[in-house]
Structure 1
Amino acid sequence: MRLLEPVRLGELSLANRVVMAPLTRCRADNPDFAPTEIMQRYYVQRAGAGLIVSEATIISPEGRGYPYTPGIWSDAQVEAWQRVTDAVHAAGGRMVCQLWHCGRLSLPDHHGGEAPLAPSAVNPEIEMFSGGAGLKKTVTPRAMTREEIAATVADFGRAAKNALAAGFDGVEVHSSNGYLIHQFLSPLANRRDDEYGGSIENRARFFFEVLDAVVAEVPAARVGFRLNPMMNRAHGLLVDENTVADFEHLVRGANRYGLAYLHLTEPFMPKQLEGAPGALAEVAPHFRPIAQMPMVANGAFDARKAEAWLEAGWCDAVAFGKPFISNPDLVERFRRGVPLAAWDADTFYQGGERGFVDYPVLGA
């Protein structure tokens, strides 16, 4: 079974090709926005993955977009993450930290009542989870100044340095799903008329400045990045007739860094893309000939589809999200060929242990 074979992504030697995808679970319910004891248990339970990509982890207070999500900007957060990575390593696992800035996908609730930062003042016009108050409508963000852009680039570099200090095996730059870097890339969210807007060279500038800052702190062969070119409407549709060409430019530019991997997401909800100009039905097969680095495919895979894509050479590893929520022993279940347990979507973000660390494992 190809899924169970070892693989090397840059300097990351993995015991198998099963990657745990980044999954926001809203369990960092403390004033420090630091990982908690149950989060440590949660990741250790899933250490059988060849690689764990941490839940999206905020690089700075300005980057927050959701309640109870952990950060990597403070000493307290670094110390708490160190306990997590130590425990994962003791269980034989490997783990990278996904670096995150939400940009316009945020609410004033997280910023002292002020509007969130973004490339341009363009409201995604969606509803976002706010915690106890339920769903709230997004507001028009404030366009970042050049000084704020430079400060945010530095925040990514500092977060990467902190991730190494916290014992992570590497980092993944969250460049997808409609968050800040993705917003800079898309002319539907980026309407700037300076060196960060207009042409794809300008709109990609922020991404490459972030990548430069990150690889200055972490060896490039331990750095991955995630893209979701076919962004669905849940986070504000960012697909137009030039999207595929724009992302081809981005991947070709990233080739020169010698990165560990490219993490590509297939369309979350393909039906939402029907009628969208330039939409791709399958993402990884399109970008495989372009990317000169290992590739991780993600998006509603089961074991059979993962095997087929690995055999076809469309990816080097496959990331699983929801199956890892309800199957801490997912790799062992693949090994034995037994059915997977179903997840309870009502507990994804509710907090507490239920639906988080209480899913059974084989033989328990």
Structure 2
Amino acid sequence: MSPTLDAPLQVGGLRLRNRLYRAPLLEHAGNGPEAADRLVAELEPAAASGAGLVMQGATPVRGYEGCAAPGMTGFDDPDRVASMRRLTDAVHERGARIFCQLAHGGLRSFEVWHHEHRAAHPDLTQRAVSRPPWPLRVLDAVGVVSFDVEVLSTDAVYALAAEFGERAAWAEAAGYDGIHLTGANTSLFHQFLSPLYNRRDDEFGGDLAGRARFFEVVHDEISANTDLPVVTKVPVETEAPRFLPHVDWDEGVAACERLAAAGYDALVPVRTTPFWDASIIKGAVPERAWADASLTSRYERAFGGPVRFRAVRALAKLSARRHGFEPAWNADLCRVVRDRVDVPVFCVGGLRERAEMDALLGDACDAVGVGRPFYAEPRLPARLLTGDARAVCESCNNCVVPQAAGLPGTCRTPSVVRERMRLEREGAYDTAPADSEPEPTD
């Protein structure tokens, strides 16, 4: 029989009490002394309400360098990472496990589009796999983005991989139970795998074996420094324009097979494009968020004035029309990958209903992740794990767009907020599932 959402799961040597995880989101905790407390407030409710695993959002291994969005908490400072013991203890006390998502944005680093950040940090350069591909050079030429690129040498690639291993060791000492790598969403890992970005002629370029090698070297560095399980997203660029070089379906599945053989303890295959666009989030055009007059000045400072703001808004709307919401949009890909690998496959993207999750488990995947709905319902697992519930999230992305202006992720859609408040009054989030006793943490 296929497992259900409340069945335990083994990932490497780690036991999860169930198969529901809070997917990585942008928490906007920042890098100040209050970062750990902010993360506790953001993530502990998911553990307290029954999630088996909590994924902390992207933590750049070099801090400001490679930071992909405002408010990310850098893991470049050992004292800051050590302070996260308050977070990991809080999650463990609630019976859940917690992974941190180690990251580097590469050409997606947010100073390329965030003018206010670039002005504050004019010395920032972007570490690149190769010279930016021509579509990004066009955007640079017309002033939508601005690059100051340093292509990584072979030695520099190895040095960066070693930093991932070191940061993973700091995370293990702080009580984290595993490492999740930002392997997709146009991160540096994604750029290594994508033939659009990767035109190297050393061991990290060329065919699939070369383009996947950065994933493998980082895995080996983490495994050499820790005993933690390692999970990664794997991008399959099915949404890419056909005239551009891209990771197609067959090559993406082959990449998953390769990474499983290299020792990854679980994989998260995702359909996407080579660009930071609406294929990552899929959903309605968030007109309410763009049109919020209280945010206009923030957007203009971020994007470099009213003209650039209007250009970015127009591009975002076009992208959203092309990438409308699809329930469980990665399920078909996950199903194929699961038939080819012998490690757990995690499915994320467009999952909103308990019945749908149970139907996918044992067929398309071994665990299911939910992301944006946690902005609306921080204690969502209490409903999903105790009945045939559906998240109140409307996938409208009104929570996402203001993050470009530096605001924290939270639901800003009145109808959704009203529904959550009704459920709160009825006590829908008051109790965790009966089998949520703490598991041993060692």
Aligned 1:92-103 pairs, distance under 5 A:
92-103=95-106
Q: What is the CA distance between 1:241 and its match in structure 2?
A: 6.2
Aligned 1:68-83 pairs, distance under 5 A:
68-83=71-86
Compared with structure 1, are the counterparts of its residues 324 and 354 closer, same or farther at alpha carbon in structure 2 (3 Å cutoff)? closer
Compared with structure 1, are the counterparts of its residues 352 and 283 closer, same or farther at alpha carbon in structure 2 (3 Å cutoff)? closer
Q: What is the CA distance between 1:272 and its match in structure 2?
A: 4.3
Secondary structure of the corresponding residue to residue 265 of structure 1: strand
Q: What is the CA distance between 1:305 and its match in structure 2?
A: 2.3
Compared with structure 1, are the counterparts of its residues 237 and 168 closer, same or farther at alpha carbon in structure 2 (3 Å cutoff)? farther
Moved more, 329-338 or 107-116: 107-116
Equivalent of 1:309, from 351, 360, 363? 360
Percent identity over the alignment is 28
Q: What is the CA distance between 1:178 and its match in structure 2?
A: 1.3
Equivalent of 2:379, from 324, 329, 337? 329
Aligned 1:91-170 pairs, distance under 5 A:
91-106=94-109, 107=111, 109=118, 112-122=122-132, 125=136, 137-139=145-147, 141-170=149-178
Secondary structure of the corresponding residue to residue 35 of structure 2: coil
Secondary structure of the corresponding residue to residue 66 of structure 1: coil
How far apart, CA to CA, are the structure 2 residues paired with 1:179 and 1:157?
Answer: 17
How far apart, CA to CA, are the structure 2 residues paired with 1:239 and 1:166?
Answer: 43
Q: Which consecutive unaligned segments of at least 5 residues does structure 1 have?
A: 129-134, 275-279
Q: Normalising by the residue count of structure 2, what TM-score does the alignment of the two structures yield?
A: 0.70
Compared with structure 1, are the counterparts of its residues 310 and 69 closer, same or farther at alpha carbon in structure 2 (3 Å cutoff)? same
Q: What is the CA distance between 1:28 and its match in structure 2?
A: 1.3
Aligned 1:269-288 pairs, distance under 5 A:
269=282, 272=322, 282-288=332-338
Cα contact 1:121–1:140 (8 A) shared by 2? no
Secondary structure of the corresponding residue to residue 44 of structure 1: helix
Q: Normalising by the residue count of structure 1, what TM-score does the alignment of the two structures yield?
A: 0.83
Q: What is the CA distance between 1:152 and its match in structure 2?
A: 0.6
- Asked if 1:251 is matched to 2:252, the reply is no
Compared with structure 1, are the counterparts of its residues 204 and 338 closer, same or farther at alpha carbon in structure 2 (3 Å cutoff)? closer
Q: Which consecutive unaligned segments of at least 5 residues does structure 2 have?
A: 113-117, 273-278, 283-319, 325-329, 431-442
How far does the alpha carbon of each residue in 1:288-316 deviate from its partner, in whole angstroms, 9 at most, with x for none?
121110111111012232222115x2111
Compared with structure 1, are the counterparts of its residues 291 and 327 closer, same or farther at alpha carbon in structure 2 (3 Å cutoff)? same
How far apart, CA to CA, are the structure 1 residues paired with 2:243 and 2:271?
Answer: 14
Q: Which has the higher helix share?
A: 2
Secondary structure of the corresponding residue to residue 216 of structure 1: helix
Compared with structure 1, are the counterparts of its residues 93 and 4 closer, same or farther at alpha carbon in structure 2 (3 Å cutoff)? same
Q: What is the CA distance between 1:94 and its match in structure 2?
A: 0.8
* Paired letter, 1:101: H
How far apart, CA to CA, are the structure 1 residues paired with 2:335 and 2:410?
Answer: 38
Cα contact 2:236–2:248 (8 A) shared by 1? yes
Compared with structure 1, are the counterparts of its residues 114 and 29 closer, same or farther at alpha carbon in structure 2 (3 Å cutoff)? closer
Bigger radius of gyration among the two: 2
Cα contact 1:170–1:218 (8 A) shared by 2? no
Compared with structure 1, are the counterparts of its residues 239 and 185 closer, same or farther at alpha carbon in structure 2 (3 Å cutoff)? farther
Moved more, 199-208 or 248-257: 248-257
How far apart, CA to CA, are the structure 1 residues paired with 2:176 and 2:61?
Answer: 15
Cα contact 2:88–2:176 (8 A) shared by 1? yes
Secondary structure of the corresponding residue to residue 120 of structure 1: coil
Equivalent of 2:67, from 40, 64, 69? 64
How far does the alpha carbon of each residue in 1:181-219 deviate from its partner, in whole angstroms, 9 at most, with x for none?
110111100111222222222212222111111111223
